[in-house]
Amino acid sequence: MSRAAASATTSAALPAAMSSPAQLDRLGGHLRKLRLLKSGERLEALLQEAAARELPYAEFLEQVLGEEVAAKTAKNIAMRTAMARFPFVKPLETFDFAYQPSIDRKQLQQLASSHYIEHGDNVIILGPPGVGKTHLAVSLGLKAIEAGYRVMFSTAAHLIATLTKAHGENRLEEKLRVFTAPRLLIIDEIGYLPIDRQGANLFFQLISRRYERGPMILTSNQSFGAWGEVFGDRVIATAILDRLLHHAVTLNIRGNSYRLKEKLKAGLVRSHDETTTEPGGEI
C-alpha cells in the first residue's frame, strides 16, 4: 500500500469510528429491513469514504442510492436472463457483422433499441444453418431484457412438445398462458423438425393469442414458401404466416456458416456462394 493510501485509510477510519457500533448496527438493521442490501454491505466503507472526501450530504445520498439502484438493476437483469432460458448468452457486441455482409447493421442497431417491442412488431430471421440466427435472436433478447422486458426463449420443437403434452393433460390453457405472459417470446428453429397436425394447430393457437399483443422473434432455416411443408398443412401455415407477417421485420441472411468459418478458410469445404443463395440449403 502506498504511503498516501495508507494515510488516507488512517484518516478515513476516523469518521467511521465516530459512528458508534450501536449506530452502525441500527443503520444496518434499517438497510436490511428496506432490502437495501448493497448499501448494507458497503455501509462502513461508504461512511469512511464520504468523511474522507468531505462529500456534501446530497452527493453522499446520491452515491449510496446510485450504488443500490445499480446493484438492484444488475441483479434484476441477471434474474430475467436466467428466466429467459437462452441456450447461450452472447451480447450483440460479440456478433461479427463483417463476416455476414447480407445483414444490415443499421437495421440490427435499430432493433437493438427494442422499439419494435413497443410497436408489437415481430422479427423473423431466415437463413441456412450456422449463419447466426440463434445468436442474433439471443442478442436481441438480451437487449430487450436490458430495456426492462420479460423474455422467454424456446425452440419450436420444445414449445410444440410442451403444448402437446399440456393438451393431453387438460392443461393447455395454463401452458398457453406461460408462453403468452412474457413480453417477448423467441421461437427458434422453425423448420428443423417436421410438425404434426396437432402440433401445427397448437402452434397456431399460440400465434393467435400473441397476435397484435405480444411481439415475437422467430428463426427458421426454411423460406416462407416452404412453411406449408414444415407445418404439414398449407392452410394452417398460411394462417400462421398471415398473423406473423402483418407487423413484422424479416431479416434474410444469405451467407456462410460461421461454424464452418475455419474450415472454409482452410479450403476444406466450398463457400455458400458457390452452392445456393436461398435460405434452407444445407452447406
Binding site for ligand ADP (CB under 6 A): 90, 95-96, 99-100, 127, 129-135, 258-259
**Residue 133 or 183 with smaller CB distance to Mg ion:** 133
* Chosen from Mg ion, ligand ADP, none, partner binding at 200 (C-beta under 5 to 8 Å by type): none
Grid cell listed for 32:
436490511
How many helices and strands, by DSSP H and E, does the chain display?
13, 5
DSSP one-letter code for 258: S
User: Tell me, what amino acid is at 182?
Assistant: P
CB of 83 vs ligand ADP, minimal distance in Å: 21
Residue 142: CA count within 13 A, CB half-sphere = 17
CB of 230 vs Mg ion, minimal distance in Å: 15
* Chosen from ligand ADP, Mg ion, none, partner binding at 99 (C-beta under 5 to 8 Å by type): ligand ADP
- Residues lying near Mg ion in the complex (CB under 5 A) are found at 133-134
Burial environment of residue 172 by CB neighbours within 10 A (0 to 12, 13 to 18, 19 or more): middle
CB of 132 vs ligand ADP, minimal distance in Å: 3
Q: b/e per residue, 45-70, with b = 16+ CB within 10 A? A: ebbbbbbbeeeeeeebeebbeebbee
CB of 189 vs ligand ADP, minimal distance in Å: 7
Please name the residues in contact with 49: beta carbons below 8 A apart, sequence gap of 6 or more. 12, 55
**Residue 39 or 256 with smaller CB distance to ligand ADP:** 256
CB of 123 vs ligand ADP, minimal distance in Å: 14
**Residue 191 or 199 with smaller CB distance to ligand ADP:** 191
* Chosen from Mg ion, ligand ADP, none, partner binding at 279 (C-beta under 5 to 8 Å by type): none
Q: Are the CB atoms for 186 and 151 separated by under 8 Å?
A: yes
**Residue 50 or 131 with smaller CB distance to Mg ion:** 131
* Chosen from Mg ion, ligand ADP, none, partner binding at 255 (C-beta under 5 to 8 Å by type): none
Residue 6: CA count within 13 A, CB half-sphere = 3
**Residue 90 or 150 with smaller CB distance to ligand ADP:** 90
* Chosen from ligand ADP, Mg ion, none, partner binding at 95 (C-beta under 5 to 8 Å by type): ligand ADP
For 251, phi then psi, to 5°, come to: -110, 120
* Chosen from ligand ADP, Mg ion, none, partner binding at 100 (C-beta under 5 to 8 Å by type): ligand ADP
* Chosen from Mg ion, ligand ADP, none, partner binding at 129 (C-beta under 5 to 8 Å by type): ligand ADP
The strands making up 122-126's β-sheet, listed across from edge to edge, are 151-155, 184-190, 216-220, 122-126, 248-252
Please name the residues in contact with 257: beta carbons below 8 A apart, sequence gap of 6 or more. 128, 129, 130, 131, 272, 283
Q: Please name every residue paired with 152 in a beta bridge, in sequence order, or none if there are none.
A: 185
Q: Find the residue with minimal CB distance to Mg ion.
A: 134
CB of 188 vs Mg ion, minimal distance in Å: 6
**Residue 192 or 211 with smaller CB distance to ligand ADP:** 192
**Residue 125 or 176 with smaller CB distance to ligand ADP:** 125
